[in-house]
Structure 1
């Protein structure tokens, strides 16, 4: 990631954190290892398959980041027994 992209990502994160705090939205954070172990009990290779099964969607992901976001959401939902 170059410096310009990193700066934009940091700005976006800062804005999201500010809005969450301002609106009293709970902020949670998971490490990549925690997500992998929580949803697949194994490794990264099975995350995409798990996400597709969990949300009943097809694997049309162009980038790993797309499935990673859904894996984080699935981790939150699973840990909080929402779905």
Structure 2
């Protein structure tokens, strides 16, 4: 999956990835990491299940693949969507 992930926005405070769905390549998810909220994804699992979804994990793997690093343990800064709203 990491070869199909794209960085669509980045600045000093955040980075946003576009991640394709495993089941439907036409469906895309937006995954964002920022200093205020940590990791967020617009998929149902992240928004309603309040867990670190596979799209976030794919972005973490992608960052390792391209030798980028934000944090040692992304689970420490995962913010369920209900805490942000």
TM-score, scaled relative to structure 1: 0.26
TM-score, scaled relative to structure 2: 0.25
The structure whose RCO (Cα within 8 Å, separation 6+) is larger is: 2
Name the one with the larger strand percent. 2
Name the one with the larger helix percent. 1
Larger Rg: 1
